[in-house]
Amino acid sequence: MAYVLSLFDAAREGRTGELVPALEAGVPVNLTNGKGDTLLILASYHQHEDTVAALLEAGADPDRVNDNGQTALMSAVFRGHEAIVRRLLAAGASQTAGAHSAVDFARVFERTDLIPVLEEHAGR
């Protein structure tokens, strides 16, 4: 159990070099914690772009929803990290997966600077 918890810490802290070998050894890329957070959601929320890229490359599902109805895209929008938002959208993240749309999330949390980025990818 300690090993699994350390993987969530690695995602939170951007320790990509620890995550990639674990995934290559067979750890499920869409592993979730007790709150339904995936490694990708945690890396997105904590603004670790390299970790997000590695998880997407390993096949992480950008549309997995945690227990609060949030996705990795919503986490990146909430934190205002445009590069991660763009990376998730390029990987096919849905703007409507989860409890709210990404645009609604941007409005509620006053991340209106991201609305043009989201609109640029609408319907893709």
Domain locations in the chain? 2-120
3-state secondary structure of 2: helix
Give 63-122 pLDDT, tens digit per residue: 999 999 999 999 999 999 999 999 999 999 999 998 889 999 999 999 999 999 999 988
pTM of the model: 0.95
107 CB contacts (<8 Å, ≥6 apart)?
A: 115
Q: Is 2-120 in CATH node 1.25.40.20?
A: yes
7 CB contacts (<8 Å, ≥6 apart)?
A: 18, 19, 22, 27, 31, 39
Supply the pLDDT for residue 124.
Answer: 57
3-state secondary structure of 32: strand
The structure tokens listed for 57 are 């490359």
Give 33-51 pLDDT, tens digit per residue: 999 999 999 999 999 999 9
Q: Scanning the structure block, which residue is given the tokens 């995934």?
A: 23
